[in-house]
Chains A and B, each alone.
Chain A
Amino acid sequence: MNMTIAWITARGLLGRRRSWLLLPMPLILIGITAIGLGFDAPAVDLADGVLIGLGVAVILPLVSLIVGTGVLGSEIDDGTVVHILTKPIPRSRIILAKLAVAATVSAVTTAVPMFVAAAMVGGVKLGLGFALACAAGAVVYSALFLALSVLTRRPVLLGLLYVVIWEGLLSNVVMGTRTVSVQHYVIEFASELSGSTLFTATVSLGVAAAMAVVLTVAGTWLATQRLRSFSVAGETS
């Protein structure tokens, strides 16, 4: 962890105009929940359709994808990553600083609106459950997408394939893929933390917790290893 790198990364991420485009997503989540409640929608529909269907399945992975691939990916695209790589800083510290910033930003942008929306649906306990689960999910996703941004030249597209095809399409058809799907860990965490009966989890807590830790550590380790032998090239193909 290097505070200077973390600070520069945070400024690069939030100081641009386009980062404000992340804002509508949390607002839509809260707005839709409010509309649903206004129409007296049953809490079960709201929990399944909005909190999980929109919040956990769409907003959390997409915010984490844009932020997680942006912290290091944009520097690699610009070529400014050279400035960091030529400094005598251990690669692990660079990765940890980037991961900390990405995870914090994604966690705050998703957990806060999820807390508000879930609290509106089922009380503060449900809100806290979803907020903490989303924060945990943001850490795992950030580690994965950060690793992708060092491993490949097209991290966003690979991340999209994972989110849309693996988590979105396959895990609804082939049950086995759920054990490697961050989305289902988040649902399990939320269900365990809130004790709510509005929705059911699909993987066991042990599997979810263990896999979340394994994926986070593996992503961070892979990114560090890859950054050690990183070769800088311009935008190709």
Chain B
Amino acid sequence: MSEHSVIHDIGYQRYTGPRLGRAYAARSLFEHGVRVAFGLGRSAKAKIFPWIVIGLVTSLAVIVVAVKAQSGEMILTYQDLPSTASVLVMVFLAVVAPELVSRDLRNQTLPLYFSRPIRRSDYALAKLAALTTAVWLLMAGPQLLMFLGSAFSAADTAGVAAEARGMLGGWVIATCYALVFSSLAILIASIASRRAFAAGAIVVVFMITSPVVGLLAVLGKGGALSQIAPMFSPFSLPEGVRSWLFDTSIPIGPYGPLYGLMTVLLVAGCTLLLLLRYRKVSL
């Protein structure tokens, strides 16, 4: 112990710069979520599964463009693409949704997030928005590819404009799919802390409903039951909306607005449950 104890100034300073706050933190979380969905900035292992699915959906679009260039026939319209790819999109959800939320639960990193200036609802909504964006890109990207392929082989500007309108219609349907699929999937994944189990649960919920709807549609014999039944599966609900908006898909009779309402209710209900889940989450 020396005679004269002194406190040395070793250069600690207060931070006086701008504090970026809640909106910035939420935006960063969203951006990070979209990157995680595609495995960007992660190891090659994390890229395998998302890019297998992206490759398969893109190859669908490439086949459509190739057939159109050869024979001039469009084997799959812009609006058909989401329903044709819907099973692949479900696999994408099973890969990405647990990656987004289950890891944070399992590794108990939530306290780190919530010690920043974001609210619990910001976290949940940022994750949902990231998944919705990723799923939308998964469908809209190949649709854009189809547009580019068709636009270059179109005869005149009117042809290109018609293709552009077709693509925008396809994007509307893709948005509908993205909202329904991701709100349901992220809710399921947010309950399971183990990634493997979350993936299984998502696929179970999605796949168990299709045969049920198929049977009900057969039982209805084209009557009211057959027109309402598709509402109860996430695979066929967006198709009902498509019939309502564009009249190009499954027969739904006069129940179009009901499909629109059901979609809104499902998305809103899942989002609400997700917010409640993170209100109660154990840290």
The interface of chain A, by Cβ under 8 A from chain B, is: 18, 21, 25, 28, 32, 36, 39, 41, 45-46, 49-50, 53-54, 57-59, 62, 65-66, 69-70, 73-74, 77, 153-157, 160-161, 164-165, 168-169, 236-237
A residues in contact with B49, CB < 8 Å: 154, 157
Interface pairs (14), CB distance under 8 Å:
A18-B192, A32-B211, A36-B219, A58-B208, A62-B207, A66-B197, A73-B196, A153-B45, A156-B196, A156-B200, A161-B52, A165-B88, A237-B42, A237-B45
Residues of B within 8 A of A237 (CB): 42-43, 45-46
Q: Which of B43, B91, B215 gathers the greatest number of chain A CB atoms within 10 Å?
A: B215
Cα–Cα distance between A66 and B199 once the two chains are bound (Å): 10
B98 to chain A, nearest CB (A): 9
CA distance A74 to B214 in the complex (A): 35
Q: Which chain A residue has the least Cβ–Cβ distance from B48?
A: A154
Does A164 lie within 8 Å of B91, measured CB to CB?
yes
Max count, chain A CB within 10 A of own CB: residue among B56, B204, B214:
B204
Once the chains are docked, how many angstroms separate the CA of A18 from the CA of B193? 11
Q: Is the CB of B214 within 8 A of A69?
A: no
B29 to chain A, nearest CB (A): 20
Tell me if A157 and B94 are in contact (CB < 8 A).
Answer: yes
| B87 touching A25, Cβ below 8 Å | no
What are the residues of chain B within 8 A of A161 when measuring CB–CB?
52, 91
Q: B200 contacts which chain A residues (CB < 8 A)?
A: 62, 65-66, 156, 160
* B201 interface contact, C-beta 8 A: yes
- A73 to B194 CA separation, bound complex (whole angstroms): 11
A45 to B87, CA, bound (A): 23
Q: Are A32 and B203 in contact, with the CB atoms below 8 A?
A: no
- On chain A, the residues within 8 Å of B161 by CB distance are none
Within 8 A of A (CB), among B175-232: 192, 194-197, 199-201, 203-204, 207-208, 211-212, 214-215, 218-219
**Besides A41-B218, A57-B211, A58-B207, 18 other A-B contacts (C-beta < 8 A):** A36-B215, A41-B215, A49-B211, A49-B218, A53-B215, A62-B203, A66-B197, A69-B196, A77-B194, A77-B196, A153-B45, A154-B49, A156-B195, A157-B94, A157-B95, A160-B94, A164-B87, A165-B88
